[in-house]
């Protein structure tokens, strides 16, 4: 099938690449010529494992095109995926200007029947607004109501985890499709069924429903996952107070199949492109409808506060004034296997350390370039703080003479360091772990002063082992 993808961010690029991988002819549109130049030169504007390889295969086979030509993109695809950004507006609601502009462009130039798919995360009722915009543009052309220029709006929300997006798309646990029950909707349903057939070979994964329910499903799913994270973080903070071990608690409750283990890890809060803005948008939707979503308001509040927990542990140990202190920070992206810095907890942690006078030496396996850009904005007008933030090319380079190690992102390469070497590099064997990577008892035996989230404080043993690993 001929497919058009509007937008080459995480969702659009992964969707286009995976649909091309299974044999479709895909046209990827973006209004940012810089992104298109990068893609046409074999580069990648985002970090996503496996994505570059499948794009290279499809490019070699002539199955994928990258362009800024709007008219050509509309003419190309019988199915038009809108996969543009929906950033939070000032009031927390989703900003739909890019979605509606994409719809407007389709209406301005379309010829023949089109299936217009909302792939972006959008509030309930967006499909209706997209329909109205396209009808308005067709009316300007004198084509509104023409059978030859018919179209159907479909809601097909994505459920992709950054860092595992290709795997999630190629082996989905469900494909949610919202489609109208009318003649145009029947035509759209058949096209979508054919398009997703390669992903349903073992068993049917597609869930058909009405459009509004599909739009709501995406928000409800992300809100539930965010709720689990904030719940566990709140439990971890209480565990710190009462002397319980949140890891033991996690195993105890996760073994209940009604609860399960997913998204029950305590830490320094969630970030990224989805959970923060989707929770905010759902709260805003509720307010517009006269519903106060108290649970989600609490989820957001807990997450905001959780990003301060690690700094409070640091100041509780070393004092509020951190002038003259140097901290090694491991991990900048909001999660492993991505360079995404949106709402990353590292931004709050590092910002607080710098504001208290500390020097920070930071390392991330893939997010350093993006982190430099983001912190240049975060610290704009604060040249003295900018001068105390240094980005290193290896994790070892952060350690020399640092007062403590601070772990913010759980990259695999941080999970089993040489602790004997680590201790020799730090001024004192002091670790503040925002992701609970190590066992407190093992840290104590190694003579490391170890502070984690919701786990027993590990006071360094007087006689420590030199085994070097935990």
CA distance linking residue 456 with residue 246, whole number of Å: 9
Q: In this prediction, what percent of the chain has a pLDDT beyond 90?
A: 91
SS3 206: strand
What is the value of pTM for the model shown?
Answer: 0.90
**pLDDT tens for each residue of 31-44:** 999 999 999 999 99
| 412 assigned ligand-binding residue | no
Is pLDDT above 90 for 300?
Answer: yes
Q: Tokens 């058909």 correspond to what residue?
A: 208
What's the number of domains the chain is made of?
3
Give the Å distances, CA to CA, from 327 to 30, 108, 448: 40, 55, 16
Q: Are 360 and 388 in contact (CB under 8 A)?
A: yes
- Banded model confidence at residue 149, pLDDT cuts 50, 70, 90: confident
Tell me, yes or no, whether 321 and 287 share the same domain. Answer: no
Say whether both 261 and 358 belong to one domain. Answer: no
Residue 249 · residue 239 · CB < 8 Å: yes
Q: pLDDT band at 106, cuts 50/70/90? A: very high
Domain-embedded: residue 464: no
User: Which ranges constitute the DSSP H helices of 32-125?
Assistant: 33-40, 51-60, 70-76, 97-109
Give the residue among 425, 458, 441 at the shortest CA–CA distance from 328. 425
The mean of the pLDDT values for the chain is: 94
Q: Are residues 178 and 45 in the same domain?
A: yes
Q: Which of 154, 188, 209 is the last residue of a domain?
A: 209
Residue range 147-151: mean pLDDT, rounded: 77
Does 160 count as an annotated binding residue?
yes
Q: How far apart are the first and last CA of the chain?
A: 52
Q: What is the Cα–Cα distance from 119 to 86, expressed in whole angstroms?
A: 11
User: What is the distance between the alpha carbons of residues 279 and 265, in angstroms, rounded to a whole number?
Assistant: 19
CATH number of the domain that 192 lies in? 3.40.50.720
> Which strand (E) or helix (H) includes residue 231?
helix 211-242
Residue 433, token pair as written in the block: 């772990």
Same domain, 150 and 42: yes
Report the distance separating Cα 205 and Cα 192, nearest Å.
Answer: 13
pLDDT tens-digit map of 190-216: 999 999 999 998 888 999 999 999 999
> What Å distances lie between residue 258 and 225, 247, 249, 253, 255, CA to CA?
14, 18, 15, 9, 9
**Would residue 459 count as lying in a domain?**
no
Tell me the residue range of the domain where 130 lies: 2-209
The response to whether 375 counts as a known ligand-binding position is no
CA distance 362 to 365: 10
> Does 277 belong to an annotated binding site?
yes
Residues 242, 379, single domain; the answer is no
Question: Same domain for 328 and 384?
Answer: yes
How confident is residue 463, by pLDDT bands cut at 50, 70 and 90?
A: very low
Is residue 468 a part of any domain in this protein? no
| Mean pLDDT along residues 284-298 | 95
Indicate if 284 and 326 belong to the same structural domain. Answer: no
Point out the domain boundary residue: 209, 230, 261: 209
Question: Mind telling me the catalytic residues?
Answer: 274
The answer to whether the beta carbons of residues 387 and 360 sit under 8 Å apart is no
Q: Is residue 187 part of a domain?
A: yes
Same domain, yes or no, for 73 and 192? yes
The first and second tokens of residue 147, run together, are 């059978």
Residue 146 has pLDDT above 70, yes or no: no
Do residues 17 and 5 touch, judged by C-beta distance below 8 A?
Answer: no
The verdict on whether residue 288 carries a ligand-binding annotation is no
Q: Residue 465 pLDDT > 60, yes or no?
A: no
Structural domain includes residue 169:
yes
**Are 86 and 146 in a shared domain?**
yes
DSSP string for residues in 438-467: S-HHHHHHTT-EEE-SSS--BPPPSS----
Q: Which of 271, 288, 305 is the last residue of a domain?
A: 305
> Edge to edge, what strands does the sheet with 326-330 contain?
389-391, 359-363, 326-330, 404-407, 430-433, 449-451
In a domain, 458, yes or no: no
Q: In the prediction, which pLDDT does 148 show?
A: 67
Residue 267 annotated as part of some ligand binding site: yes
* Residue 94: pLDDT band with limits 50, 70, 90: confident
Q: Are residues 234 and 382 in the same domain?
A: no
* Residues 120 and 202 grouped into a single domain: yes
Widest CA span of the chain, in angstroms? 85
pLDDT at 464 over 70: no
Tell how far CA 83 is from the center of its chain. 15
- In 3D space, the residue among 165, 270, 266 whose CA is nearest the CA of residue 225 turns out to be 270
How much is the pLDDT for 213?
A: 97
Q: Is residue 465 assigned to a domain? A: no
Is 19 annotated as ligand-binding? no
Q: Does residue 147 have a pLDDT over 80?
A: no
pLDDT at residue 7 tops 50: yes
Q: Are residues 100 and 143 in the same domain?
A: yes
For 285, residues 6+ apart whose C-beta sits below 8 A from its C-beta are: 93, 123, 124, 219
Is residue 121 annotated as involved in ligand binding?
A: yes
Which residues lie across from 66 on neighbouring strands?
A: 28
CATH of the domain at 288: 1.10.1040.10
Is 282 within a domain?
yes
**Tens-digit pLDDT profile for residues 391-435:** 999 999 999 999 999 999 999 999 999 999 999 999 999 999 999
Q: Can you give the pLDDT at residue 469?
A: 45
């Amino acid at each position: 099938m001929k497919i058009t993808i509007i937008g080459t961010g995480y969702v659009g690029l992964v969707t286009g690449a995976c649909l091309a991988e299974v044999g479709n002819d895909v046209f990827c549109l973006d209004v940012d010529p810089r992104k298109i130049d990068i893609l046409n030169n074999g580069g990648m504007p985002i970090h996503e494992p496996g994505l570059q390889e499948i794009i290279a295969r499809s490019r070699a086979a002539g199955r994928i095109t990258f362009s800024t030509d709007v008219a050509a993109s509309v003419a190309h695809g019988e199915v038009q995926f809108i996969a543009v950004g929906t950033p939070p507006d000032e009031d927390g609601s989703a900003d739909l200007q890019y979605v509606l502009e994409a719809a407007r462009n389709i209406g301005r130039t379309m010829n023949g029947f089109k299936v217009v798919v909302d792939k972006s995360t959008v509030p309930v009722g967006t499909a209706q607004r997209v329909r109205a915009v396209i009808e308005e543009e067709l009316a300007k052309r004198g084509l509104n109501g023409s059978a030859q220029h018919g179209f159907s709006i479909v809601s097909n929300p994505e459920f992709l985890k950054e860092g595992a997006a290709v795997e999630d798309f190629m082996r989905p646990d469900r494909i949610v499709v919202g489609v109208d029950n009318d003649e145009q909707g029947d035509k759209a349903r058949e096209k979508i069924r054919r398009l997703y057939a390669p992903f349903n070979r073992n068993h049917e994964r597609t869930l058909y429903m009405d459009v509004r329910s599909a739009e709501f499903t995406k928000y409800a799913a992300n809100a539930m996952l965010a709720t689990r994270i904030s719940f566990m973080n709140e439990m971890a903070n209480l565990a710190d107070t009462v002397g319980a071990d949140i890891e033991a608690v996690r195993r105890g409750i996760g073994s209940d199949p009604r609860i399960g283990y997913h998204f029950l890890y305590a830490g320094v809060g969630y970030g990224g492109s989805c959970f923060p803005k989707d929770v905010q948008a759902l709260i805003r939707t509720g307010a517009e409808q006269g519903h106060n979503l108290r649970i989600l308001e609490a989820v957001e509040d807990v997450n905001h506060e959780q990003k301060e927990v690690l700094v409070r542990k640091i100041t509780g140990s070393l004092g509020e004034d951190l002038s003259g202190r140097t901290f090694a920070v491991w991990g900048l992206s909001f999660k492993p296997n991505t360079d995404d810095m949106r709402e990353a907890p590292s931004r709050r942690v590092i910002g607080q350390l710098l504001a208290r006078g500390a020097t920070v030496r930071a390392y991330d396996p893939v997010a350093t370039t993006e982190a430099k850009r983001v912190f240049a904005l975060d610290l704009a007008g604060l040249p003295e703080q900018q001068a105390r933030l240094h980005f290193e090319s290896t994790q070892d380079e952060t350690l020399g003479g640092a007062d403590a190690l601070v772990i913010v992102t759980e990259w695999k390469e941080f999970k089993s360091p040489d602790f004997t070497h680590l201790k020799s590099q730090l001024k004192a064997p002091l670790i503040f772990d925002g992701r609970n990577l190590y066992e407190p008892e093992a840290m104590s035996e190694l003579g490391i002063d170890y502070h984690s989230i919701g786990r027993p404080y590990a006071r360094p043993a007087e006689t420590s082992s030199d085994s070097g690993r935990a």
